[in-house]
A and B are shown apart, each in its own frame.
Chain A
Amino acid sequence: MDNPEQILAILFQLTQLMLVVLLAPLLTGWVNQCQAWLQNRSGAGILQPYRVLHKLFLKDAVMAYNASWLFNVTPYIVFGCMWLAAAIIPIIAVDLPFSQAADVIALVGVFALARVFIALAAMDIGTSFGTMGARREMLVSFLAEPALLMVLFTSSMISHSTQLPRIVEALAHHEFVLYPSLAFAALAFLIVLLAENARIPVDNPGTHLELTMIHEAMILEYSARHLALIEWASSLKLFAYISIGIALFFPHGIVEVGNWAGLPLAIFLLLLKLLTAGAGLAVLESLMAKMRIFRAPEFLGTAFLLAVLGLLIHFLLGA
């Protein structure tokens, strides 16, 4: 630990960890606020997710009688997974200590781990809605995951590495080139982002109709701090996904570890990108209706197809 570079790296890592966990609800609030504006509503304000979290943490948790330990620990595991995922992704700087430990395949694995637990917990309490939600979640995710992997492979081909810092470096620090393969990958990634974060048109995060829910059906039985953690984890997941998108497709402006002078500009650029992405997401969601659930496979099949096209184009054109 006497190596100053290592200490600096850890400081950067800690900055990112705290920044991400604190900023994630703000992004959710921003998306909701943009939607409110687009619908002629005044909206609840971008700080609303914090108020909701505060309220939930103050409440007493209600547990189903037949819930096992699995139901109890799942919110912590899901929150941990999402926080870890957000730590791996180069958000404010490349070459963070955590990102050396895991590559993009491990990242997809971390998301999958959270999903497995939340689906098991949904079935654990034995209500029909939990099982229904878990079943639908699996239908969506087993199609979304391969598409996400293909997107990540396309970027790996360009940078010859599955390490996210290498990918980001290759894309950010070389002269600006338009990669046609990445255009296809970006489109595929957008579809996966919508599906994986339970957004319209695949799921509706704002619905109260229990029969139509996917993600919400799985967490219907959660309350108070457990629900708060899951809601926070959902915000973190959205933040992580948008960050992956930024890292893969718009990494310009990111700094290296140790570059304190460049950090303010990097954070400013990051915020700008997040604001743009959040507003874009709100526009997309306001324009679309939710599709019939059996259309989701076609939708995600399109994502997979686009990702494969990206990969093929990389082979054909070498770009």
Chain B
Amino acid sequence: MPIKHPNLHLEPMNGAIPAWHGEIADSDLLPICQNVRDGGGRLVALWGSDEHAQGNGFALHVVLVNETGLVCLSMALPAEQPSHPDISQIFPAANRMQRTVYDLLGIYAHEGHDHRKWLRHAAWRSGSFPLRKDFDAAQSRSDDSDSYPFVQVEGQGVHEIPVGPVHAGVIEPGHFRFSIVGEKVLRLEQRFGYTHKGIEKRFESLSLQQGAKLAGRVSGDSSVAYAWAYAMAAESIANVTPPDRALWLRALLLERERVANHLGDLGYLGNDVALSFGFVQFGILKEQLLRNNAALFGHRYLMDRIIPGGVTADLSAEGKRVIEAELAMLEREVRLLRGIYDEHAGVQDRFIGAGRVEPKLAAQLGLCGLAGRASAQAWDTRVQFPCAPYDKLDVQMATYRNGDVAARVIVRFDELFESLRLQREILVNLVQGDGLAIPLAKLPANGLGIGMVEGWRGEVMVAIHTDARGNLTRVHPHDPSWQNWPALEHAALGNIVPDFPLINKSFNLSYSGHDL
């Protein structure tokens, strides 16, 4: 039992990851959150749902994690004026999630101090809520101007630089408001939501199989992680376990996704300090890996290879040899390139000390994933809650204390080599099984399932609710970027403006996965 509280009755959930579910009352939310926080736990995700079909008003769901596993708390809320206690004082990362729940569902955090909109721009009217079942998109068009009250910094010589959402290069849209004096950053405030596509609303009208495709497109760079988390959630409701070979293949795909992204990021980090040599070399390696993906699995970014119940792609003996040769090549080349990065005085001068997040601050903000591990936050789902086949792989977690750009580069290199090792182990252990998937046509009624997978960026979580007929009624994909974007605001403080793109790239957070 992960948390002890007199009013809390937890039921263990099925599935690959240790998780419990419990219904709580309004007044118990804060003490339970405080309890988890004091025990070193973190907030994973927070979302709301419209429960009118079940005869209730709304519900708020909070997922917390501590060293024993996940705890999903559900809180029934009234149909009129639904509200819940503000938990952002305990978990700062909750601030934006709560504001999003209001923008999408009209569920309000009472006693909260920050009620600004978050994901809503001018696409729908204030006071209409897209994730409510009675939402009418045609009636909710808005002509409002998209104003947002940024926090003003005043003082001698202080001025603002607004950056984005349209940038000088072709990159994802986000707005960054810098308050600076000279070149020094006094405050950075982010504004997102420019890539809000209504993914959660779309899930409601999809079948289980169609949902898997959409889940794999929440954030294109984490396609495998999302598809696996979605499948894990569905399998948790249906209480099925995919064939062994499918699980091994999933792990292989996830590690290949991690290697591809780490290669890309290491190249871009070189590019951001104008070392185009590194950019191009890592780019070549990444491209070779993606081409192998296309040749062996049929998709460069491995989309739609994981489905609820198993996988759709197999690996032949010939494919195994291709991957073995590729792994040996990557091991050799990346070691060479790491030597170049490590010994390049100009590169190290830019990396070391830039964008530092101290471990203490990281713990306070609930920093997770790769960026968290670079600031001594030792959380890795593959290590703490190893689902099959990771329970047989003994993953070595890469952590570092410095929390600067250099630390995030080191963690990337270490994880890359570990990923190459894991792929080799997976190839050795890849059992010949009977079939690649257990067909999963429909889910049981009124179910709730949670899947969590350590993607390359951090923990990717997907929660699925089914209705009385077993259809998807609410799917909530959660990206680790929710936790880490606010930390970037802190990481930039005291740095100079021209270092920000490098710091930003060292986190490389998702816009699409965050804006949904």
Bound: A137/B393 CA distance, A: 54
Q: Check: A128 CB closer than 8 A to any chain B CB.
A: yes
Q: Check: A163 CB closer than 8 A to any chain B CB.
A: no
Q: Check: A302 CB closer than 8 A to any chain B CB.
A: no
**Is the Cβ of A210 less than 8 Å from the Cβ of B277?**
no
CB neighbors of A among B315-361 (8 A): 344, 346-347, 349-350
If A128-B160, A132-B161, A208-B169 touch, whether A39 touches B501 (CB-CB below 8 Å) is no
Q: Check: A67 CB closer than 8 A to any chain B CB.
A: no
Bound: A212/B168 CA distance, A: 11
Q: Check: A220 CB closer than 8 A to any chain B CB.
A: yes
Return the contact of A41 from the options B183, B280, B349, B497 (Cβ within 8 A): B280
Return the contact of A288 from the options B160, B183, B346, B497 (Cβ within 8 A): B346
Residues of B contacting A207 with CB < 8 Å? Answer: 274
**Is the Cβ of A294 less than 8 Å from the Cβ of B276?**
no
**Is the Cβ of A292 less than 8 Å from the Cβ of B350?**
yes
Q: Whose C-beta in chain A lies nearest to the C-beta of B272?
A: A209
Bound: A291/B346 CA distance, A: 6
Bound: A293/B497 CA distance, A: 10
Bound: A220/B347 CA distance, A: 27
The interface residues of chain A, by DSSP majority, are classed as loop
10 additional A-B residue pairs with CB within 8 Å, beyond A38-B277, A211-B501, A290-B273: A41-B280, A208-B168, A209-B501, A211-B161, A212-B501, A216-B168, A220-B168, A289-B347, A290-B346, A292-B349
- In the complex, 25 of the A-B residue pairs with CB atoms within 8 angstroms, ordered by the A residue number, are A35-B276, A39-B276, A39-B280, A39-B281, A40-B281, A40-B284, A41-B280, A129-B161, A201-B274, A201-B346, A204-B274, A209-B169, A211-B163, A211-B498, A212-B272, A212-B498, A289-B270, A289-B275, A289-B346, A291-B346, A291-B349, A292-B498, A292-B499, A294-B496, A295-B349
Query: Which of A38, A289, A291 is most buried by chain B, counting CB atoms within 10 A of its CB?
Result: A289
Minimal beta-carbon separation of B202 from chain A (angstroms): 32
Q: Check: A286 CB closer than 8 A to any chain B CB.
A: yes
Q: Mark B492-505, 1 if CB is under 8 A from A, else 0.
A: 00001111110000
Q: Check: B167 CB closer than 8 A to any chain A CB.
A: yes
Bound: A127/B131 CA distance, A: 38
Q: Check: B162 CB closer than 8 A to any chain A CB.
A: yes
**Is the Cβ of B169 less than 8 Å from the Cβ of A286?**
no
Minimal beta-carbon separation of B236 from chain A (angstroms): 42
If A40-B281, A292-B496, A293-B183 touch, whether A210 touches B274 (CB-CB below 8 Å) is no
Return the contact of B276 from the options A208, A211, A220, A286 (Cβ within 8 A): A286
Bound: A286/B280 CA distance, A: 11
Bound: A293/B275 CA distance, A: 16
Q: Mark A35-67, 1 if CB is under 8 A from B, else 0.
A: 100111100000000000000000000000000
Q: Check: A4 CB closer than 8 A to any chain B CB.
A: no
Bound: A179/B487 CA distance, A: 57
Q: Whose C-beta in chain B lies nearest to the C-beta of A289?
A: B346
Name B's A-contacting residues (CB within 8 A). Answer: 159-163, 167-171, 183, 270, 272-277, 279-281, 284, 344, 346-347, 349-350, 496-501
Q: Check: A85 CB closer than 8 A to any chain B CB.
A: no
**Is the Cβ of A39 less than 8 Å from the Cβ of B277?**
yes
Q: Mark A256-272, 1 if CB is under 8 A from B, else 0.
A: 00000000000000000
Residues of B contacting A206 with CB < 8 Å? Answer: 274, 276
Residues of B contacting A290 with CB < 8 Å? Answer: 273-274, 346, 350
Q: Check: A114 CB closer than 8 A to any chain B CB.
A: no
Q: Check: A147 CB closer than 8 A to any chain B CB.
A: no
Bound: A162/B504 CA distance, A: 49
Minimal beta-carbon separation of B362 from chain A (angstroms): 24
Residues of A contacting B171 with CB < 8 Å? Answer: 208
Q: Check: A200 CB closer than 8 A to any chain B CB.
A: yes
Query: Which of A35, A210, A293 is most buried by chain B, counting CB atoms within 10 A of its CB?
Result: A210
Residues of A contacting B183 with CB < 8 Å? Answer: 293-294
Minimal beta-carbon separation of A263 from chain B (angstroms): 38
Q: Whose C-beta in chain A lies nearest to the C-beta of B276?
A: A39
CB neighbors of B among A172-217 (8 A): 200-201, 204, 206-213, 216
Return the contact of B168 from the options A38, A209, A295 (Cβ within 8 A): A209
Residues of B contacting A128 with CB < 8 Å? Answer: 159-162
If A289-B350, A292-B350 touch, whether A132 touches B277 (CB-CB below 8 Å) is no
Bound: A204/B349 CA distance, A: 17
If A128-B162, A132-B161, A289-B344 touch, whether A211 touches B277 (CB-CB below 8 Å) is no
Bound: A132/B497 CA distance, A: 10
Residues of B contacting A291 with CB < 8 Å? Answer: 346, 349-350
Lowest 6 CB-CB distances: which A-B pairs, in order? A208-B169, A289-B346, A290-B274, A209-B501, A210-B168, A204-B274
**Is the Cβ of B277 less than 8 Å from the Cβ of A200?**
no
Minimal beta-carbon separation of A164 from chain B (angstroms): 33
Q: Whose C-beta in chain B lies nearest to the C-beta of A209?
A: B501
If A208-B168, A211-B163, A220-B168 touch, whether A286 touches B277 (CB-CB below 8 Å) is yes
Bound: A163/B253 CA distance, A: 69
Minimal beta-carbon separation of A43 from chain B (angstroms): 11
Minimal beta-carbon separation of B21 from chain A (angstroms): 45
Residues of A contacting B498 with CB < 8 Å? Answer: 211-212, 292-293
Residues of A contacting B344 with CB < 8 Å? Answer: 289
Minimal beta-carbon separation of A157 from chain B (angstroms): 34
Residues of B contacting A289 with CB < 8 Å? Answer: 270, 273-275, 344, 346-347, 349-350
Residues of B contacting A132 with CB < 8 Å? Answer: 161, 497
